[in-house]
Every structure is written in structure tokens, then in C-alpha cells.
Amino acid sequence: MAESREPAGPDGAAALRAEVAFLRQLADNVPVAIAYYEASTLACRYANASYCRMFGHDATSILGRSFAEVIGPVAANAIQPAVDRLIQQGESAVYEREVPSLGGPARWIEVHLLPHRGDGEAVVGCFVLISDITRHRMAEAALRQGEERLGKFMQASAEGIVFHRHGFVTDVNPPFLALAGYSLDELMGRSTLDLVAPAERDRVAAVIRSGAEIAYDSALLHRDGTPIPVEFIVRTMRTGHDVQRMTIVRDRRERVVAEQRIRHLAHHDALTGLPNRLAFLERMQARMAAAGESGQRLALLFIDLDHFKRINDSLGHLAGDELLRSVAARISAMLRSADSVARLGGDEFLVLLGDDPDEAAVREAAARLVSAVSAPLEVAGQPLSVTPSIGVAMFPRDGQSPDQLIQHADTAMYHAKDRGRAACSFFEPAMAQAAIDALALEARLVQALREHQFEVHFQPQVCVDDGRLVGVEALLRWNEPGAGLRLPDHFLPLAEARRLMLPIGQWLLEEGLRWVSRWRAAGLLQVPLAVNLTPSQLHAESMPASVAALLEAAGAGPGWLEFELTEQALMAEGPPTRAALERLRAIGVGITVDDFGSGYTSLAHLKDLPIARLKIDRTFVQALPGDERTAAIAHAIAQLGRTLGLQVVAEGVETHAQADWLRAHGAEALQGRLIAAPASGAEFEAWLQARLRRAGPAPCAGAASPGS
């Protein structure tokens, strides 16, 4: 402060006034509210502009007012003890309080009370210095709110959170404590590296040193010493000059298990747990490379379960799955450490035999597998027995790549099935040629459909007693360019295996009904058309609807059509076959058992099927009447049919002696070249017209052949 001095004349008074004005201007512009109160009266003797504005006064109105009048009685009562100590003892005071603001939010002030001592050291007045600390209070409140929010977040978060400063723990939340197995007191101030699995400490220390904000996989060390896979998400937290690191700790155990499960599923079959095709091919490739370098042999076994579809259809897919798991376990139990097994898909398995096996060792191993798989087992409460067919391809003799070896083993497996199933067959080069021939035949069949190379021929069935026409069979023929007319035996098995019989059979049925509709309209024919039906056609879901649509298009009624199924086809599928036959009978289609005697029919099963006719297989007819054993079987078949109420038809009749014997032993109808050879539609129509011109029904033995 400027020194006090007496004014010297007018000039001195002016200078003093200027100095006072300067000091007042200075006081009015400092960022502090300043006032002076007289100790004896507690009246205000001075206040700068800030102080006046703070309490709603001006420089004149505030003078002479007591501090209680200026700041209000409530605030005055609150600070009175501090004022008393200042006056009586000369003790300074500092306090904070909230001041209402006119037309705005309340303000927070920090107040300093400073004593003014006179010449005798007695307190004669009080200096009041007030600072507006609202901004600081707001910052503190925001900080507290932030800390509260962070605390609530740490408490509410399901993930572990750790705060540390220079690598030493400053705070953790309950989820982290639960994850690591510690209490809060045990962790405070502890090195974070103590909480990390030993193998991960160097990496974590490097992250701490770098100060990087990063997310990475690591491992937490549980209190009991167990490493826990976790993910660390690290962030830097700055509060003023304080720098801390926050690490979010995510438990990865479930994710690790899921990832392991995904990796397992990528290389293993979900049903049996065996390696899948991909994993097996990788292992097979490595084994073949090693065997090639060492000059050793390997044997690949392709295993397919016989008639597995029948189990699925009769007992359901759950039973089929249970069977596959049991078979997988049995195969695995028979293998050595040098062998490998995989499920290829469906009911197919692959086995790779190591240790340089020769053919004898492979045959022995295959025999053990056949025996193990074929042993009876119980599935869905039902005793079952399933047999495997096994094809074998040898490395390096039969293939140099996994795909080639699998292809050749597959080919050999089908050869084993053709040999009667439940057998083992080794690949031979001729089999490959047969497979190539089959592919070529399949392609030609597809072309035959596209280019209309198929033909339908017809053969009559007549009454054994009077030669009346009782039926007509539609027979499929393939007029292949350059090869002539091919019979079904040449191409039907492959067409059935490749599902080509569905479109071929559809064409045959449509073409046959077209001719029959024409002949019925002309009055030439009033008997059913018989068409052979294969198992794939019988069990096609669309078959009944397709047949009904064709019958409707032809204007056909009940009795126009009957299907002939072989004995093996009727017996193969059990309940599904019966259901399919019932659907056909419901739309007016008759059913005939074809080639009866060539299979192994259960008579109990036969009587439950919706069958109208029985055809004695041509192999029995050809041996009549000279072969006594054949004659006995044919007679038994005829008697069985009559007993069951079925019309008995003999096919393949070529001689009068055969016809006479069949007439004498119970056959009711005949079909064969003795009656008429199969003929094209136009030729058969001519045959029908010739019959119509005759005066009476032609005798069986004397009927004219449409092929003559």
C-alpha cells in the first residue's frame, strides 16, 4: 500500500484524491469481493464494487449497515462465533458458504476474515475478502459424480476391472475379486504382474511400460494357481496430474471351450465323434507321404452298412443314429494305434491300416471288423444285427492320392455288395473299368430319355382255360442307336441305382396308358395294363399323385392299371412298403407279385399286403414239366396263390407241354411267347384287331403271335 502522508496544499489534496481513486479502481477490479467492518459497531465502512454487487448494494447504500443486514440474519448467526473470536482474540477465520443469487443459481464463496489492529494492538476492524469458488465447487461435484458413476459401473459391471498406478493395484471391482479368488485387502498395492500367469508376465510388463491402449488375450493367475484364459482391455485414465491404468478383464473360459468345440466339429463328425472326411484326408495325405518315403504299404477300407435305410425307415432316425454310434465304437475298438478311422457320411466309414500290412493281414482285419459290426445289439429296445460290406484299396498299388484310393476302395465295396454283402472285396483294375462303363451307360440313358430312344412293347396275358384276354403287360425296351433293341436286364439295375427309373418309369406309364386309352376307345381292349414298378418308384413320395394325374388324363377308371413288383421289392422295406401299396390301391391300382419264388417271402407278411395276383417266376416255368423238384415248387406256388385268394399267372410259357401242365396244376393265366411275343404298340394293335375278327376266343395254344 502507498505510504500515508499529509496533503500539502491544493496540489497535495488533488494528488491524494487521485491516489484514493486509483486504489478504489484497483479494489473494484480485483477478482475478490472486499469489505471493511468496524469492530465496535460491526458497521460496514468500505466495500468494493464486487462486494456491493454480491449483496445487492451500491457503494453508498452499503455504508453504515451491519454485517447482519448485509449478509442476512441466518448467515450472520452462522458466522457470529468466528466474528467474536476475531474481535476478542484477533483470530483470523476462513469458511465457505452458499450464497443465493438473484435470478440465477446459487453461488459458493470462500470467505477470509482478517483482523485490523490499531496502535494498541487491539482489533478495531475486520477485513472481509470473498472469492467466488462456484466453478471449483462444480468441478469437485463433477469429479465426485464421475467417481460415483465409475464406482457404480465397477460394481455393476459383470466383467472384472482393475485400476493400477505404475503396475501396482489401486482398486478392483467385485467381479474381478470373484474371478481371481482374492479379497480387496489382499490386492490393494500389490503388483499386477503377480496376478498374471508366469508365461504371460513379460508381455503384460511390456504393455505396462509402453502405456499402449490395447486389447489382447492373456491368462490370469487364480489364487489357487490355476491359469484362467482372459482378455485384457487396457485404457489410460488421467485426472489432473494423476495417471492410472484401467484394465477390463474378460473371462474367456466359455469362449475358449466354444472355440475348441468349433475346432473339434470342423474336424470331427458330430454324431459319432470320429474324425470327419476333412481331418481323415489330411492325416491320410501325411501317412501316404511317409509310407511312400519308407516304401511301406497302407490299406484303405471303405465300410458301408448293408440295408441301413431299412432301419431308419422302420425304427426312425434316432434309432439309426444310435446304431451308427454303436458301429463307430465297435470299429474304433478293433483298431490299433497305427490305424485311423473316420465317418465319411451316412452309414459309410473309412479305416486306414498302417504298419505295412499285406493282403493276408488286411483280410484278417476286415474279417474281424465284419464280425464285430455284425454282432447283435439292441437299439431303441429292439434287437438288431447289421452287416458291413467292405472294399479295400492298397497303397501304393491301387492309388497315389487320397481321392483315388478312396474312389477305388468305394468301387471294391460295391463289388462286395454285388457278391452278397457282409463281405470284403479288394480293388482290381477291372472294377475301375466297370465303374467307368457304368458312368458311360448312365450318360447314355440320360441321352436316351432326352432323345426319346425308349419304346414300350406289349405282351398279352390270357385265361388258361379258354384263351380270353385277361391282361396286357407293358415292357420297356431301349432302341439304342448302333446297338439295337436292348432289354431291361441290360440297363435297369443301373437306372434304379442312379434314380433314373423315376423319369423312365414315368415315361413308360404315360406311354402305356396312351396306347390303352386308344385301344379301349376303339373297343379292342377291356383288361388292365400291367406295368413293372421298381422300389425307388414305389417309395417316391410323389408316386400316388403322379399316377392319379396320369389316370385322370387318360380318362381311366378303376381296373385300368396294375403294378407288378418283384418279391424282393415287396419284402425289402416292411411297413413303408405296405403303406405305399395301400396308397396305390386307394386310387384303384391293382398289385401283382412278379417273379414269385425267386426270393424269400414271409407268408405272414404276404397275406397282409394288398395283392391281387401272383406270377410264377419264368425260371420255374422253363423247367416244366420234366424237372420234378421244379414241378413240385411250381405246384406249391399255384396252390398257395389260390389259398390266399390270388389269381395265379405263369410267365415265360413257351411250349404246349408247359401250358398243359400249368392248366392241370392250378395256374389261371398264361403269359409268354407261346401266346404272343412282346410287340410294339402298332404290332400289338394289329394282333388285337386280328383276335376281334375271329369268330370266337382263340385257344391258348393256337393264338397268333403279333411278332409272326
pLDDT at residue 151, rounded to an integer: 61
pLDDT (average), residues 642-647: 85
- State if pTM tops 0.75: no
How are beta strands 348-353 and 298-305 bridged, if at all? antiparallel
Cα(614)–Cα(593) distance, integer angstroms: 5
Domains and CATH numbers, the chain: 19-132 (3.30.450.20), 154-256 (3.30.450.20), 273-427 (3.30.70.270), 462-693 (3.20.20.450)
Q: What is the mean pLDDT of residues 162-181?
A: 91
CA distances from 628 to 186, 614, 623, 631, 640 (A): 102, 21, 9, 5, 18
pLDDT at 230: 94
Whether the predicted pLDDT of 33 surpasses 60: yes
Q: How do residues 422-456 score in pLDDT, each as one tens digit? A: 889 999 988 878 778 888 898 999 999 999 999 99
Q: How confident is the model at residue 10 (pLDDT cuts 50, 70, 90)?
A: low
* Residues 301-360 pLDDT 10s: 999 998 888 788 777 888 889 999 999 999 999 999 899 999 998 899 999 999 899 999
Mean pLDDT, residues 133-158 taken together: 67
More confident residue, 114 or 608: 114
Mean pLDDT of the chain: 86
pLDDT at 523 over 80: yes
Contacts of the segment 108-111: beta carbons below 8 A, 24+ positions apart: 108/132, 108/133, 108/134, 108/136, 108/137, 109/33, 109/54, 109/133, 109/134, 111/79
Distance between CA 357 and CA 298 in Å, rounded? 6
461 burial via Cβ count (<10 Å: 0-12, 13-18, 19+): buried
590-606: pLDDT as tens digits: 888 887 766 555 555 66
Q: What SS3 state is found at 622?
A: helix
Q: Please name the helix (run of DSSP H) or strand (run of DSSP E) that holds residue 590, with its range, or none.
A: strand 590-596
Q: Is the pLDDT of residue 708 over 60?
A: no
Contacts of 124 (CB under 8 A, 6+ apart): 38, 39, 40, 116, 117, 118
Determine contact, residues 464/670, Cβ cutoff 8 Å. yes
625 prior amide bond cis, ω within 30 = yes
Q: Which of 261-265, 357-361, 543-547, 690-694 has the highest mean pLDDT?
A: 357-361
- Maximum alpha-carbon separation in the chain: 174
313 to each of 306, 576, 599, how far by Cα in Å?
14, 7, 21
What is the structure's pLDDT at 702? 35
Q: How far apart are CA 604 and CA 135, in angstroms?
A: 101
Calculate the CA dihedral of residues 443, 444, 449, 450 and round it to 10 degrees: 80
pLDDT of amino acid 118: 84
Give me the pLDDT at residue 4, please: 47
pLDDT at site 2: 40
pLDDT (tens digit per residue) in 195-254: 999 999 999 999 999 989 999 999 999 999 999 999 999 999 887 678 889 999 999 998
Using the predicted structure, report yes or no on whether residue 698 has a pLDDT greater than 50: no
CA distance readout (Å), 257 to 251, 254, 260: 12, 5, 5
166, 237, 244 from 211: Cα distances, Å: 10, 11, 10
